[in-house]
Amino acid sequence: MKKNSVSKVLILTLILALSAELALDAQEAQPYQGVAGRTLAESKEWWPEPVKAPAGAPNVVWILLDDVGFGATASFGGIINTPTFDTLAANGLRYTNFHTTAICAPTRSALLTGRNSASVHVSGFSHTVMSAGFPGWDGRMPPTAGTIAEILRDNGYSTFAVGKYGVTPDEEATDAGPFDHWPTGKGFDHFLGFLGSQTDQYKPDLVEDQAHVHPDGRHLSAQITDKAIFYIDRQKKAAPDKPFFLYYAPGATHAPHQVDKYWSDQYKGKFDKGWDAFREEVFARQKKLGIIPANAILPDRNPNIKAWDQLSADEKKLYARFMEIYAGYLTYTDYEVGRLINHLKEINQLDNTLVFVMLGDNGASKEGTLNGDIDRPLWGSKPLTEQENIDYNLNKIGEIGTPESVQGNYPLGWAQAANTPFKFWKQDANSEGGTRNGLIVFYSKGIKDKGGIRTQYSHVIDILPTTLELVGLRAPEQVRGIQQQPIEGTSFAYSIDDAKAPTRHTLQYYYIFGARSIYHDGWKAELAYPSSFITGNFASKQSFDENAWELYNLNEDYTERIDLAKKYPEKLAELKALFEEQAKSHHLYPYITWDDVFNGRIHRTPGSKSFLDAVKDVTKSGDDK
């Protein structure tokens, strides 16, 4: 009996403590308005009003794809079938001057917080091997930069995330936590996906909420779509009138390119004409659709990319197969997004859902090297000559796209083609090919100009303030009692009803491991960072020249063809000085480069893993746990 009494006392104590904690949480937003007198008769109870979203507030869905080039989808002039995206675009708006940071983790941190990546500590990555002990580089998004999930959750939304998260430090990505930088620690009620940058699509490093779980063997995109639908249905059953926020971020089309042959076989023979013909065809389609200006000129092939007609028959066969897989992968991704959208329609939620579709977190990937990759890790593999690499891939051509293609990625020639009409690739923060992505905004009851095109300059940090404006909320000064940094993005809601409205986002810096640029009122100064590893051309010994800045007038030179640095040195000097101001104010210093990463010069702490061991955390599969 005595033992039971003690247990009851302990339980009662825990209940009272929890009640007090909940009351304190509620009082953070609302001061206590009752009376606590000496006796109950002298007292007056008070309970804070439950937090509710603004009346009529829509559901919000953010869809973020990975490594999709500007010219890949049919929605933006490409020849890869994307009927779901096409339908959303036809009933919404396409933004053709939308930008990301040029690589995944900085883009995701900027998207989630509405602040530049350096301002929220993610100039690089949250991976040990690509983070450093400086305010702009440690890879740990601070509580002073509340995420969209935290803001919406505290304003009456349910919040879910599925797919790639990408901003949890490696040191914290175990079932022991801590969980502050996991999705559930950043405002999401529930999460299913992976915490890193890359994972196997059939054997993913899968996490649900705060623990690793076993994948079911199906493609990851199918699993996350099912879970997203489950989260929504469960919430609507319990609280039909409560809006939800869903962050849907599949691993597609990041490496490894893995997809059922049903999808890739739809493209058999479709790319036999090669990447040069692809670029020309897509460029013409983009002009016809009004995606790019009529006076735009297609740039030459990037350096080191061979003309398709100069390739051997074996190279053409191999490279075309790589592209068939990529195309099938993208079309399959569109199908899974379609399952989600169709479900919202079936449960009568689509008309009250605000959807943002970001077709890539950067430009098309350059990590496939010049000859493509099937199963050879980027780091630690024995170097092969170009011919050896081609022969190796030809011997395994049947494995491209299958579960055995654990590093599957297409050659650089196709990556540039997917970026049509722009130069260069993912990681190239100096180039529109690295930073320009297609954006679709769908909001049935809020968009009148259905199928319209918007050309205002915008950046990934603008998505959060745009979302808040459209749902009727302001950015909070505090989140859970913590004073917040200012939102750095600019809402582009002004452009929804006015296609000709002047751009309000007029200044933006970019920096990814040495490559950098700054945009200001149509002018752009940029500095490339050559790296033989990153370009895939191991024979290249081009050194970095910090004075090799280029200058472009994007108002007249849409595809960055004419370098005006020598013609307008004063303008270049002005923009370079402006870049330094932005770098300093956003905590971008010090300038860390790819060479610093590859030579292991950063994040060297007691007990650190070797460079090759640490880099495995970047591309972890479920088998690596």
Residue type, 106: P
Section 116-130 average pLDDT: 97
Q: Where does the pLDDT of residue 10 fall: very low under 50, low under 70, confident under 90, or very high at 90 and above?
A: very low
* pLDDT one-digit tens code per residue, 253-270: 999 999 999 999 999 999
Give how many domains the chain has, as a whole number.
1
- CA nearest neighbour of 563 among 572, 209, 425, 355: 572
Interval 498-524: pLDDT, tens? 999 999 999 999 999 999 999 999 999
pLDDT above 90 for 552 = yes
| Contact present, 67 and 360 (Cβ < 8 Å) | yes
Burial label, 72 (beta-carbon count in 10 A; 0-12, 13-18, 19+)? buried
Residue 37 lies in a domain: no
Helix %, strand %, coil % of the chain (to 5): 35, 15, 50
pLDDT bin (cut points 50, 70, 90) of residue 12 is: very low
Exposure pattern of 220-233 as b/e (b: 16+ CB <10 Å)?
bbbbbbbbbbebbe
Span 471-486, pLDDT tens digits? 999 999 999 999 999 9
Is 50 among the domain residues?
A: no
Mean pLDDT of the chain: 93
In a domain, 605, yes or no: no
The share of the chain scoring above pLDDT 70, in percent, equals: 93
pLDDT of the residue at 624: 66
Q: What is the CATH number of the domain that holds 341?
A: 3.40.720.10
Whether the CA torsion 615, 223, 463, 185 is positive or negative: it is negative
Residues 314-340: pLDDT tens digits? 999 999 999 999 999 999 999 999 999
Q: Does residue 326 fall inside a structural domain?
A: yes
Whether 222 has a pLDDT exceeding 90, the answer reads yes
Residue indicated by tokens 């205002």: 456
Q: How far apart are the C-alpha atoms of 414 and 370, rounded to whole Å?
A: 9
Q: Tell me: cis bond preceding 169? Omega within 30 of 0 counts.
A: no
Residue 5 has pLDDT above 50, yes or no: no
At residue 176, does pLDDT exceed 80? yes
Nearest partner of 76 among 414, 450, 358, judged by Cα = 358
Q: Write out the residue range of the structural domain in which residue 481 sits.
A: 65-598
Between residues 609 and 310, which one has the greater pLDDT? 310
The whole-number pLDDT of residue 29 equals 61
Q: What is the pLDDT of residue 625?
A: 57
Reply yes or no on whether the pLDDT at 341 is more than 90.
yes
pLDDT at 25 over 60: no
> What pLDDT is recorded for position 531?
75
402-416 mean pLDDT: 97
Rounded distance, CA 427 to CA 534, Å? 9
Residue 10 placed within a domain: no
Q: Which of 158, 146, 190, 155 is nearest to 50 (CA)?
A: 155
* Token duo for residue 22: 């909940």
436 occurs within a structural domain = yes
Report yes or no on 230 lying in a domain.
Answer: yes
Contact by Cβ (8 Å): 63, 44:
no
Q: Residue 613 domain-assigned?
A: no
Average pLDDT over residues 131-153: 98
Residues 6+ apart with CB under 8 A from 526: 430, 431, 516, 517, 518, 549, 550, 551, 552, 560
Is the pLDDT at 27 greater than 60? The verdict is: no
pLDDT tens digit sequence for 59-100: 999 999 999 999 999 999 999 999 999 999 999 999 999 999
Q: How far apart are CA 356 and CA 148, in angstroms?
A: 13
Taking residues 399-423, what's their average pLDDT? Answer: 98
